[in-house]
Amino acid sequence: MAALNAKVNDLGQTPLHIAVTKGHVHIVERLVELMSEDDLEIQDDSGMTAMSLASALGDTRMLECMHQKNKKLLTIRDPEGRIPFLVALQAGKIELANYLYRVTPKEDLIEDAKGEFDSSLITALIMGNALGKDL
């Protein structure tokens, strides 16, 4: 049996990345239980953690189980420099973005709003029709 932290396909993905991509919530939850905090920080060959993928493709339960195991995942940036919150917004996943907004350290949100991502953040909010709502 392959190690849970092994990159098992030609995209450099771990079993967790693959389970997230396929939308298998129960498998994601089980893999997260078995993996170490460091294993959850593994990036695929494109530089995405499983948390970043789940922010664009998954559901809240995936994000919750990963976040509960490793809080640092909320601040690991993808190859474009986005934290998972911004990945979810730009993917139009407003429910996921609401969850990530509540749990992401506010200093990281402020840093993005002040930095190079300020226009991306505002654009994502407008495009997601999220301004004036829970965010």
The tally of domains found in the chain comes to 1
**Which pLDDT score, from 0 to 100, does residue 131 have?**
45
> Tokens 């919750």 — which residue?
64
State which residues form the domain around 47: 15-127
Asked whether residue 107 is domain-assigned, the answer is: yes
Mean pLDDT of 9-17: 93
Asked whether residue 90 is domain-assigned, the answer is: yes
User: Inter-axis angle of helices 50-57 and 15-22, to 10 degrees?
Assistant: 0
List % helix, strand, coil for the chain (3-state, nearest 5): 60, 0, 40
CATH number at residue 51: 1.25.40.20
Rounded to an integer, what distance in angstroms lies between the CA atom of residue 124 and that of residue 135? 12
Indicate whether 118 pLDDT > 80. no
Asked whether residue 2 is domain-assigned, the answer is: no
Helix/strand/coil for 119: helix
Indicate whether 106 pLDDT > 90. no
Instruction: Please tell me the pTM assigned to this model.
Output: 0.82
Asked whether residue 61 is domain-assigned, the answer is: yes
Q: Look at 69 and 90; give whichever has higher pLDDT.
A: 69
Tell me the average pLDDT of the chain.
Answer: 85
Residues 17-55: pLDDT tens digits?
999 999 999 999 999 999 999 999 999 999 999 999 999
Rounded to an integer, what distance in angstroms lies between the CA atom of residue 1 and that of residue 82? 34
